[in-house]
């Protein structure tokens, strides 16, 4: 067995890791072909990753041109504790201007992850007013690359 095979996460480990991570780093492709990287809060909807952002953001502009997306999430402070996932997939944009209810649902799902189900009514009311200016993104993952150095 190669070292690469030894440190890979199985699907259950991948699912658990994604549910428990705090943020993701996403990569999209700028108009000139250069990478655009940013960090986002997110949640899981089954096997798919969801997040939301302003419709006018660079990441939405990029995904509108090219739906390919890469995602990184990682943890660990020393070599033997390094663990992470690199994901490749395609993003579907849900524009709040056309579908406020679905975008608000994504906003609530992401908020529930971080507020542990106790999102304030004030926050939800504020986001209702914002939802027409925002887009939800649903990422369908096509490839996982994983590592867990604690398995060495």
Q: H helices of 34-99, where? A: 58-65
Q: Which residues of the chain have pLDDT under 70?
A: 117-120
DSSP state of 42: -
7-44 burial, b if ≥16 CB within 10 A, otherwise e?
bbbeeeebeebbeebeebebbbbeeeeeebeeebebbe
Q: Hey, what are 121's tokens?
A: 């009514």
pLDDT for res 119: 62
pLDDT for res 90: 98
Question: Cα separation of 124 and 137, whole Å?
Answer: 18
pTM of the model: 0.91
N-to-C CA span, the chain: 12
Q: H helices of the chain, where? A: 3-7, 11-20, 58-65, 100-115, 121-130
pLDDT for res 4: 82
Backbone angles phi and psi of 30, in degrees to 5: -65, 165
pLDDT for res 104: 92
pLDDT for res 117: 59
């Amino acid at each position: 067995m190669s070292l690469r095979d030894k440190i890979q996460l199985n699907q259950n480990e991948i699912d658990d890791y994604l549910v428990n991570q705090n943020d993701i780093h996403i990569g999209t492709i700028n108009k000139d072909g250069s990478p655009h990287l940013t960090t986002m809060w997110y949640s899981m909807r089954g096997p798919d990753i969801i997040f939301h952002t302003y419709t006018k953001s660079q990441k939405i502009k990029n995904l509108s041109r090219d739906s390919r997306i890469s995602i990184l999430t990682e943890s660990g402070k020393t070599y033997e504790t390094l663990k992470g996932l690199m994901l490749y997939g395609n993003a579907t944009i849900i524009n709040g201007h056309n579908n406020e209810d679905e975008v608000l649902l994504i906003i609530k799902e992401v908020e529930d992850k971080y507020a542990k189900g106790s999102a304030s009514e004030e926050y939800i009311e504020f986001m209702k007013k914002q939802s027409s200016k925002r887009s939800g993104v649903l990422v369908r993952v096509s490839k996982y690359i994983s590592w867990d150095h604690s398995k060495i």
